[in-house]
């Protein structure tokens, strides 16, 4: 059996580490909710993605070793303490530092850094779950006497499960680093496009339900009519019907815009080093003109539009003419802004999309 002093040391290290993890998660959560301000960092990181990937790979390796130590009797507190300290001082601290790193403003790409902070925070949480098992087993063996037969069947299952969850989180974070910002924004924009398409389909279906209801014979005396939803268009509500038709037409064009932006802009976004070079080659000192800033502005708009469409649908369901008009106008402005913010290529030149976007705006205004 392990010496009581060694077991106490393991318990102390585990509890101290839990406090450290709580601090890490708080720091990462605060950064997720607050746009990073310009600041000078003590250590420049040429590529935070590489640092996070290396730290994540190391954390996965350390956790594999630690799980083997937990599964193989007898429990060796000194080896576990050493492994936990390795994680705290190396893999974990390096990963969190890279996730919190604030690069020069012309390398903004806030969407990527927000995603990284979210994924790292989740990974810190999974490591906390593994650590909780260590603490539980250490406290369970603190007063034990006699031969150490190793973990129980349920403890083995808990160890394997927690380790597996951490491996998955590590693999997902490494994939994010390998794929880079282009894959991330394309994935998110595709999801937003699907959300927008669902909203359009629901609005169209609602309108069709209204038409079906209005086609019922005048002498229909179905007793269920009294329980019909009150948010149906009346036969003479021409204003909302026209607004519905107009909205569906415009939203279908917005869906086409998403497709074009994904193909012509997001998939062609340069790597960080290239975007930085492109932003500086134009001689722009203003960070808002950099490719990274434009990317963030575009992604914000692509996220906002489906939210506005949700509000628009609610206004239709409430039969709120004024609300519909206001939200439709707002959504149209957002869509045209999205089309225009990247009217030129990331290098600042006119291209095929430049001409297409103007044609799209003309068609959009006429719809």
Cβ neighbours, 10 Å, residue 347: 16
Distance in angstroms (rounded) separating the CA atoms of residues 23 and 41: 20
CB 292 within 8 A of CB 108: yes
82: tokens are: 């050493």
Cis preceding-peptide flag for 74 (omega within 30 of 0): yes
Mean pLDDT of the chain: 85
pLDDT tens digits for 86-137?
Answer: 999 999 999 999 999 887 765 668 899 999 999 999 999 999 999 999 999 9
Q: Which residues contact 12 (CB under 8 A, 6 or more apart)?
A: none
Please give the angle made by the CA atoms of 320, 321 and 324, to the nearest 5 degrees.
Answer: 85
Distance in angstroms (rounded) separating the CA atoms of residues 63 and 167: 9
The pLDDT profile of the chain, 367 residues, written as one tens digit per residue, is: 556 688 999 999 999 999 999 999 999 998 665 544 444 344 566 788 999 999 999 999 999 999 999 999 888 999 999 999 999 999 999 999 999 988 776 566 889 999 999 999 999 999 999 999 999 999 887 666 667 778 889 999 999 999 999 999 999 999 999 999 999 999 999 999 999 999 999 998 888 765 555 555 555 444 444 334 456 665 567 889 999 999 999 999 999 999 999 999 999 999 654 334 434 444 444 556 789 899 999 999 999 999 999 999 999 999 999 999 999 999 999 999 999 999 999 999 999 999 999 999 999 999 9
Domain formed by 4-179, architecture: Up-down Bundle (1.20)
CB 155 within 8 A of CB 246: no
- φ, ψ of residue 219 to 5 degrees: the values are -90, 10
- φ, ψ of residue 111 to 5 degrees: the values are -60, -40
CB 28 within 8 A of CB 114: no
Distance in angstroms (rounded) separating the CA atoms of residues 17 and 290: 40
pLDDT tens digits for 309-335?
Answer: 999 999 999 999 999 999 999 999 999
DSSP 46: S
**The residue count for the chain:** 367
CB 176 within 8 A of CB 123: no
Q: What's the burial of 235, exposed, middle or buried (CB within 10 Å: 0-12/13-18/19+)? A: exposed
At 284 the pLDDT is 42
CB 305 within 8 A of CB 122: no
Cβ neighbours, 10 Å, residue 149: 9
CATH 1.20.1420.10 occupies which residues in the chain?
4-179
Q: What's the burial of 211, exposed, middle or buried (CB within 10 Å: 0-12/13-18/19+)? A: exposed
């Amino acid at each position: 059996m392990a010496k009581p002093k060694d077991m106490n040391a393991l318990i102390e290290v585990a509890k101290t580490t839990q406090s450290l993890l709580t601090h890490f998660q708080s720091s990462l959560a605060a950064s997720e909710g607050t746009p990073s301000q310009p600041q000078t960092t003590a250590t420049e990181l040429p590529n935070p993605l590489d640092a996070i990937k290396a730290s994540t790979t190391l954390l996965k390796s350390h956790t594999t070793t630690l799980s083997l130590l937990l599964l193989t009797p007898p429990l060796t507190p000194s080896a576990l303490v050493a492994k936990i300290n390795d994680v705290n001082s190396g893999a974990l601290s390096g990963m969190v530092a890279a996730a919190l790193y604030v690069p020069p403003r012309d390398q903004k790409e806030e969407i990527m850094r927000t995603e990284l902070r979210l994924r790292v925070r989740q990974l810190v949480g999974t490591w906390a779950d593994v650590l909780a098992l260590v603490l539980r087993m250490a406290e369970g063996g603190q007063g034990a006497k006699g031969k150490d037969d190793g973990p129980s069947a349920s403890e083995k299952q808990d160890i394997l499960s927690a380790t597996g969850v951490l491996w998955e989180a590590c693999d997902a974070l490494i994939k994010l680093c390998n794929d880079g910002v282009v894959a991330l924004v394309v994935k998110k924009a595709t999801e937003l496009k699907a959300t927008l398409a669902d909203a359009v389909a629901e609005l169209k279906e609602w309108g069709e339900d209204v038409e079906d209801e209005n086609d019922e014979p005048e002498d229909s005396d179905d007793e269920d009519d009294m329980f019909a939803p009150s948010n149906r268009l009346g036969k003479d509500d021409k204003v909302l019907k026209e607004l519905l038709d107009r909205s569906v037409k415009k939203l279908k064009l917005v869906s086409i815009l998403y497709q074009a932006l994904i193909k012509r802009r997001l998939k062609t976004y340069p790597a960080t080093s290239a975007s930085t070079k492109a932003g500086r080659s134009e001689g722009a000192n203003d960070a808002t003109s950099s490719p990274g800033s434009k990317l963030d502005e575009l992604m914000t708009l692509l996220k906002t539009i489906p939210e506005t469409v949700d509000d628009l649908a609610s206004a239709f369901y409430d039969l709120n003419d004024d609300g519909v008009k206001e939200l439709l106008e707002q959504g149209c402005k957002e869509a045209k802004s999205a089309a225009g913010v990247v009217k030129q290529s990331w290098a600042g030149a006119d291209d095929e999309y430049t001409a297409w976007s103007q044609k799209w705006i003309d068609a959009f205004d006429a719809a």
